[in-house]
Amino acid sequence: MHPVIERAGAAAELPAWARCGTRRRAHGVRVGDLLSTWAAHLDLPEREQIRWRAAGVLHDAVKDAPIAELHDVAGDGWPDPVVHAPACAHRLEADGVEDRSLLDAIRYHPVGHPDLDALGEYLILADYLEPGRSGSGGKRDRLRELLPEGRPDVLTVVVRQRLRRLLDKNRPLMSCSVDFWNRLVGQ
């Protein structure tokens, strides 16, 4: 395991390039803790539990960087609200991280992608359902309690809510988000 991933997963340590305030850092740790709990529940080996936790700890690691800097790092085609995700994946790649599954989980966590594996899907779920986001009448708590076993059904609910929010604001959808949705509903 790459040392940046090991340190994030085992000690919730962020790399020197992270741009992430206290509250966001706490959100990342909660997402990571939820992911490692699910990984343990799914009987994944300890190494995988550390790797899943790292994905959560790191997923928003550059979200507080200036937006122009994030676009510079991420390249074209990413809307402002999601550009922190590919920018973080790029930073990890520049550090020598070659774990494609973890990189894609981070890169696509706000938008989805049809090629995401279990880690990528659970990161979307943990980001949306981590206990610090509770509220909205306990609906998130109820969805979280269905996991990790209820992944396909809960993922469909969560992704539908995210897409609906964009549609209600007349915002464009990325094609990878549409393809992800079509895969989820079996089209």
d(CA 129, CA 158): 9
Q: Judged by CB under 5 A, which stretch of 3-11, 93-101, 107-115, 163-171 contacts Fe ion?
A: 107-115
The reply on whether position 130 binds Fe ion by CB under 5 A is no
Name the minimum Å distance from CB 136 to Fe ion: 16
Name the minimum Å distance from CB 184 to Fe ion: 19
DSSP 83: T
Q: How far is CA 112 from CA 57, 82, 118, 156, in A?
A: 18, 11, 12, 11
Q: Is residue 179 a contact partner of residue 159, using CB atoms and an 8 Å limit?
A: no
d(CA 5, CA 56): 11
Name the minimum Å distance from CB 186 to Fe ion: 27
The reply on whether position 104 binds Fe ion by CB under 5 A is no
Name the minimum Å distance from CB 43 to Fe ion: 26
**Contact map string, positions 47 to 66, toward Fe ion, x by CB under 5 A:** -------------x------
Q: Judged by CB under 5 A, which stretch of 7-15, 48-56, 109-117, 178-186 contacts Fe ion?
A: 109-117
Instruction: Considering the complex, state which of residue 43 and residue 125 has its C-beta at the smaller distance from Fe ion.
Output: 125
Instruction: Considering the complex, state which of residue 132 and residue 138 has its C-beta at the smaller distance from Fe ion.
Output: 132
d(CA 60, CA 88): 7
Instruction: Considering the complex, state which of residue 32 and residue 110 has its C-beta at the smaller distance from Fe ion.
Output: 110
The reply on whether position 127 binds Fe ion by CB under 5 A is yes
Name the minimum Å distance from CB 49 to Fe ion: 19
d(CA 1, CA 157): 33
Q: Is residue 17 a contact partner of residue 90, using CB atoms and an 8 Å limit?
A: no
d(CA 117, CA 127): 16
Judged by the rule CB under 5 A, the positions of this chain that interact with Fe ion are: 60, 110, 127
